[in-house]
Amino acid sequence: MAANSALQPTRLSVIVIAHNMAREIPRTLTSLSRDYQLEAAELGYEVILIDNGSTQPLDPATWSHIDAPVKYLRLDDAHPSPAQAINLGAQQATGEILCLMIDGAHLLTPGVFKLAMAADLAMPEAVVALRYFFLGPDEQNHSMADGYNQSIEDQLLSSVNWPSDGYRLFEIGTPFRAGSAGTNWLHKVFESNCLFLRRSRFEALGGADEAFNLPGGGFVNLDLYKRACDSPGVNPVQIIGEGSFHQIHGGTTTNVPIADRKRRTELYQEQYRKIRGHDNYVTDKDIFYLGHLPTEHSKIHRYHR
């Protein structure tokens, strides 16, 4: 750790929610570490890791070697939705900017902090979203049906010598397409598992809506992003050339057969409709884009696996 890092005021609070992710969390924290994220050596930030009722508690010894300023909290009597845990993390946060990772099984590319903080400086009030990717040859609902599993994923990460070059994740991942044939960096996202916004904005919105109480949270993440983007004075920003890569771990919609995902998504849509009174969960606001394409494989419009 940089010798003077402790003297920097905390600007950024990264809130990571984990449930039964003992394998995944050390890697997630590695992707949030000072020696992985670009220009993070002197950044004033904290990582608030919340174990949301895992069957076996997370073991801090598994990340003690990682240079990340982790504050660990465990909820023993946790709700099956992560909304409560997100709100608890925000209450514990000391930074003026929150980064919300409602699914803690994600690996970030190295320029995420740098560009998100740049967006905050460039815009009067930025809400910054990172594009969602899956590790593996396809969206994991499909790749699992073809035999993709944690062992194969471990081999993939080893094959690109991760984390020595975090941008090589683009070589072993695929973007979330939401049913479309393909995607590109200018497609508007409707959710992000790495979402940055001012803590004051989060509080003004009332935080994550705990009415989204289904296991996994249903559309709580989509709802928070839309409400934040639709707020007066907010500038939605999407980062280009950086990604949030989902590790296989048994997610409620990401790691189940397609038929199960469809049924659960229909339940989520029904709940959203009851809570909000409509089906429009995509912001109508124009999007600002920030970033660049760091490698050939980050040019996702050229690759369809």
pLDDT in tens, 171-203: 999 998 866 667 899 999 999 999 999 999 999
**Whose structure tokens read 């509080």?**
203
Among the listed residues 56, 61, 70, the one whose alpha carbon sits nearest the alpha carbon of residue 28: 70
DSSP codes, 46-73: EEEEEEES-SS---GGGGTTS-S-EEEE
The 10s digit of each residue's pLDDT in 18-65 is: 999 999 999 999 999 999 999 999 999 999 999 999 999 999 999 999
Among the listed residues 94, 95, 104, the one whose alpha carbon sits nearest the alpha carbon of residue 51: 104
CA 167 to chain centre: 16
The H or E element containing residue 84 is: helix 83-92
Domain boundaries, position 66: 5-302
pLDDT, position 5: 42
The 10s digit of each residue's pLDDT in 165-179 is: 999 999 999 998 866
- CA–CA dist 84, 65 (Å, integer): 29
How confident is the prediction for the chain on average, in pLDDT?
A: 92
Among the listed residues 189, 241, 213, the one whose alpha carbon sits nearest the alpha carbon of residue 83: 213
Q: CA distances (Å), 102 to each of 17, 35, 52, 61, in order?
A: 5, 23, 11, 23
Mean pLDDT score, 120-139: 94
CATH, residue 125: 3.90.550.10
pLDDT over 70, % of the chain: 94
CA-based torsion, 104, 187, 126, 41: positive or negative? positive
Q: Is the pLDDT of residue 103 over 50?
A: yes
**Tally of domains in the chain:** 1
Quote the pTM value: 0.94
Among the listed residues 53, 30, 41, the one whose alpha carbon sits nearest the alpha carbon of residue 2: 41
The 10s digit of each residue's pLDDT in 221-269 is: 999 999 999 999 999 999 999 999 999 997 666 766 777 778 888 999 9
pLDDT band, very low/low/confident/very high, at 1 (cuts 50, 70, 90): very low
